[in-house]
Structure 1
Amino acid sequence: MEQQENRVVLRGTVAEEATLSHQVHGIAFYRFPLAVPRLSGREDRLNILCPHTAPEDPLPQAGAFVEVRGEVRSFNNRSGVGNRLVITVLARELLPSAEEPCNQVVLGGVLCKPPVLRRTPLGRDICDLLLAVNRRYRRADYLPCIAWGGLALQCSRLQTGDPLWLDGRLQSRTYLKTVGEATQERTAFEISITSIDPPGAQEERGWEESLGK
């Protein structure tokens, strides 16, 4: 299975202390929320999963401003509690930073469901997509994406199995869900698409250029 493109760079504030998530092959993985501000003044709270391979190294502290470079990951939640599809960012690099906030994602994969075009009450077009991005070792991440306006119309013409390369940002969105007689507030995560490219365009213009450097 060919590995496809999956890169993310985030710069924001550690919103809570890191807590132990799980261990795999003797490596402890810690989870913490990262608050990344938007230009609108709102912020996205994104789940970061970081391996802690050197116990003597300190974990990121709440309030620290950091840069995270890694990959967007998904897994199916079979517990019946919370969202069925859980989206996290696996940190490959985690460093203190003094640069401006950043939220940029580059993905390359294939559509695994037909695009869904809809319209807001104010008449703006939205297109929902589900992108499958291969990992190594016969696994894949299934990542929900959303496009707006003219880009939504362009994405709506794609078909299942079509390749798609995109730039975007990872965003969080709260909503209310009725479970039995109770109403629960939940958070959904999705990639808001800012541009799409034909296959191979990302390699031609380079990763550093895609980050605006």
Structure 2
Amino acid sequence: MSDKVMENNQVTVMGEVASQFLFSHEVFGEGFYMVDILVKRLSNSDDRIPLMVSERLIDVTKDYTGEFIMVSGQFRSYNRHEEQKNRLVLSVFVREISFVDEELDGAKTNQIMLEGYICKAPIYRKTPLGREIADLLLAVNRPYGKSDYIPCICWGRNARYASNFEVGEHVQVLGRIQSREYLKKISETETETRTAYEVSVSKLECLDEAFI
């Protein structure tokens, strides 16, 4: 496995376990399970981040709800087919996991670095209060010819800078993973609350020398 490919997607998060392990799938006899953790923001609100964990890393039969863990890995995506269309599902694929005594105040408990390619024209807009926002979709290469598609959101001058990117531009972003609830319209009379995940970008760099 290429070290370069491993280095283009790095995540470290620390938080409180907020669910029990739920079976996801099995690959070559190795079971993978989903579990959620709550990661505090500076505002003291929480991001609820899903983790995908191998049964070989931790005893998935136990309930660790309320305990604090630190994990490192990669932010990955896959398409789930539902309602006659594909839905992008995101989670942190855990490579290392450890228990910590408590959530550290002021520690950088949510960090991500991605290096990839713009695969959709950026969407730039302003809020009613004039705040600049740009939405990006980043394709991040994975081993064996696969890619992860990661939604990113930029603010202020980063949003203005990102609005000039073209499809295929090679970029690097630093930031944090955040969760956001939204209402999905199921029918004319029914809605459902869902959670979306994206990378809130704090630093942004174009790696193409030809880009102006």
| TM-score band w.r.t. shorter chain | 0.7 to 0.9
In structure 2, C-alpha distance between the alignment counterparts of 1:21 and 1:74, rounded to whole Å = 14
| Amino acid paired to 1:138 | G
Whether the 8 Å CA contact 2:117–2:138 is kept in 1: the answer is: yes
Cα deviation for residue 64 of structure 1 reads 1.0
Cα deviation for residue 24 of structure 1 reads 1.0
Cα deviation for residue 41 of structure 1 reads 1.4
In structure 1, C-alpha distance between the alignment counterparts of 2:84 and 2:193, rounded to whole Å = 12
| Count of matched residue positions in the alignment of Structure 1 and Structure 2 | 200
Aligned counterpart in structure 2 of residue 175 of structure 1, from 178, 182, 185: 182
Whether the 8 Å CA contact 2:12–2:112 is kept in 1: the answer is: yes
What SS does structure 2 have at the residue aligned with 1:133?
Answer: strand
Whether the 8 Å CA contact 2:34–2:52 is kept in 1: the answer is: yes
1:187 aligned residue: 195
Give identity over the alignment, percent: 40
2:207 aligned residue: 199
In structure 2, C-alpha distance between the alignment counterparts of 1:81 and 1:64, rounded to whole Å = 39
CA RMSD in angstroms, aligned pairs only = 2.3
1:126 aligned residue: 133
Whether the 8 Å CA contact 1:82–1:186 is kept in 2: the answer is: no
- Scaled by the length of structure 1, the TM-score of the pair is 0.87
- After the TM superposition, list the runs of 4 or more consecutive aligned residues in structure 1 that deviate by more than 6 angstroms: 54-58
What SS does structure 1 have at the residue aligned with 2:157?
Answer: helix
- Scaled by the length of structure 2, the TM-score of the pair is 0.87
In structure 2, C-alpha distance between the alignment counterparts of 1:24 and 1:117, rounded to whole Å = 40
Deviations 1:75-97 (A, max 9, x none): 11103399811000000001112
- Unpaired runs of 5+ residues, structure 1, are 201-213
In structure 2, C-alpha distance between the alignment counterparts of 1:74 and 1:60, rounded to whole Å = 26
Cα deviation for residue 120 of structure 1 reads 1.1
In structure 2, C-alpha distance between the alignment counterparts of 1:144 and 1:128, rounded to whole Å = 7
Whether the 8 Å CA contact 2:24–2:32 is kept in 1: the answer is: yes
Aligned counterpart in structure 1 of residue 53 of structure 2, from 29, 44, 50: 50
Cα deviation for residue 188 of structure 1 reads 0.5
- Unpaired runs of 5+ residues, structure 2, are none
Aligned counterpart in structure 2 of residue 139 of structure 1, from 146, 150, 159: 146
Whether the 8 Å CA contact 1:14–1:60 is kept in 2: the answer is: no
1:17 aligned residue: 20
Cα deviation for residue 169 of structure 1 reads 0.3
